[in-house]
Protein backbone atom coordinates (compact mmCIF):
# COMPACT_ATOMS: atom_id res chain seq x y z
CA UNK A 1 0.00 0.00 0.00
CA UNK A 2 1.36 3.42 -0.95
CA UNK A 3 -0.02 6.70 0.37
CA UNK A 4 0.18 9.02 -2.62
CA UNK A 5 -2.09 11.85 -1.47
CA UNK A 6 -3.51 13.25 1.76
CA UNK A 7 -6.67 15.38 1.79
CA UNK A 8 -5.27 18.61 3.29
CA UNK A 9 -8.53 19.91 4.76
CA UNK A 10 -9.62 16.61 6.31
CA UNK A 11 -6.13 16.05 7.76
CA UNK A 12 -6.06 19.61 9.12
CA UNK A 13 -9.48 19.19 10.80
CA UNK A 14 -8.46 16.00 12.57
CA UNK A 15 -5.10 17.30 13.75
CA UNK A 16 -6.62 20.66 14.73
CA UNK A 17 -9.03 18.88 17.06
CA UNK A 18 -6.26 16.68 18.46
CA UNK A 19 -4.10 19.72 19.14
CA UNK A 20 -7.05 21.50 20.79
CA UNK A 21 -7.50 18.51 23.12
CA UNK A 22 -3.80 18.61 23.97
CA UNK A 23 -4.12 22.35 24.61
CA UNK A 24 -7.02 21.67 26.95
CA UNK A 25 -4.96 19.16 28.95
CA UNK A 26 -1.98 21.52 29.08
CA UNK A 27 -4.35 24.37 30.01
CA UNK A 28 -5.68 22.35 32.96
CA UNK A 29 -2.16 21.66 34.18
CA UNK A 30 -1.20 25.33 33.73
CA UNK A 31 -4.38 26.38 35.52
CA UNK A 32 -3.74 24.14 38.50
CA UNK A 33 -0.16 25.35 38.86
CA UNK A 34 -1.25 29.01 38.56
CA UNK A 35 -4.09 28.64 41.04
CA UNK A 36 -1.87 26.91 43.59
CA UNK A 37 0.83 29.54 43.11
CA UNK A 38 -1.74 32.34 43.27
CA UNK A 39 -3.23 30.97 46.47
CA UNK A 40 0.21 30.96 48.11
CA UNK A 41 0.95 34.60 47.26
CA UNK A 42 0.06 37.41 49.64
CA UNK A 43 -3.18 39.10 48.61
CA UNK A 44 -1.59 42.53 48.24
CA UNK A 45 0.84 41.20 45.63
CA UNK A 46 -1.88 40.18 43.18
CA UNK A 47 -2.40 36.53 44.08
CA UNK A 48 -5.81 36.66 42.43
CA UNK A 49 -4.25 37.57 39.06
CA UNK A 50 -2.38 34.26 38.96
CA UNK A 51 -5.62 32.39 39.52
CA UNK A 52 -7.42 34.39 36.80
CA UNK A 53 -4.63 33.71 34.29
CA UNK A 54 -4.75 30.04 35.25
CA UNK A 55 -8.45 29.79 34.49
CA UNK A 56 -7.93 31.76 31.25
CA UNK A 57 -5.41 29.12 30.16
CA UNK A 58 -8.20 26.53 29.98
CA UNK A 59 -9.90 28.72 27.36
CA UNK A 60 -6.95 30.26 25.53
CA UNK A 61 -4.60 27.30 25.13
CA UNK A 62 -7.03 24.92 23.38
CA UNK A 63 -7.97 27.68 20.93
CA UNK A 64 -4.33 28.59 20.28
CA UNK A 65 -3.17 24.96 19.95
CA UNK A 66 -6.16 24.05 17.76
CA UNK A 67 -5.60 26.90 15.32
CA UNK A 68 -1.86 26.32 15.20
CA UNK A 69 -2.30 22.55 14.72
CA UNK A 70 -4.87 23.13 11.95
CA UNK A 71 -2.67 25.57 10.03
CA UNK A 72 0.59 23.63 10.33
CA UNK A 73 -1.00 20.32 9.34
CA UNK A 74 -2.77 21.97 6.40
CA UNK A 75 0.57 23.26 5.12
CA UNK A 76 2.22 19.91 5.91
CA UNK A 77 -0.40 17.95 3.94
CA UNK A 78 -0.05 20.23 0.93
CA UNK A 79 3.74 19.91 1.04
CA UNK A 80 3.44 16.13 1.41
CA UNK A 81 1.25 15.96 -1.69
CA UNK A 82 3.83 17.93 -3.68
CA UNK A 83 6.76 15.81 -2.52
CA UNK A 84 4.81 12.54 -2.89
CA UNK A 85 4.13 13.52 -6.50
CA UNK A 86 7.87 13.68 -7.07
CA UNK A 87 8.98 10.54 -5.22
CA UNK A 88 5.85 8.37 -5.23
CA UNK A 89 4.59 8.58 -1.66
CA UNK A 90 5.13 6.55 1.49
CA UNK A 91 5.05 2.79 1.25
CA UNK A 92 3.31 1.05 4.17
CA UNK A 93 3.41 -2.67 4.74
CA UNK A 94 0.52 -4.18 6.67
CA UNK A 95 0.34 -7.68 8.08
* pTM given for the model: 0.79
45: exposed, middle or buried (C-beta count within 10 Å: 0-12, 13-18, 19+)?
exposed
pLDDT in the model for residue 47: 60
Distance CA 59, CA 52 (A): 11
> Which stretch of DSSP H or E encloses residue 19?
helix 8-40
Annotated domain spans of the chain: 2-82
pLDDT in the model for residue 56: 82
> Digits of tens for pLDDT over the chain (95 positions)?
888 999 999 999 999 999 999 999 999 998 888 777 766 766 665 566 666 777 788 889 999 999 999 999 999 999 999 999 999 888 888 87
Amino acid sequence: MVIRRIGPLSFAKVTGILYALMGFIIGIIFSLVSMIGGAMMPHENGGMMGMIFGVGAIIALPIFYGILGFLTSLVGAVLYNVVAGWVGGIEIETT
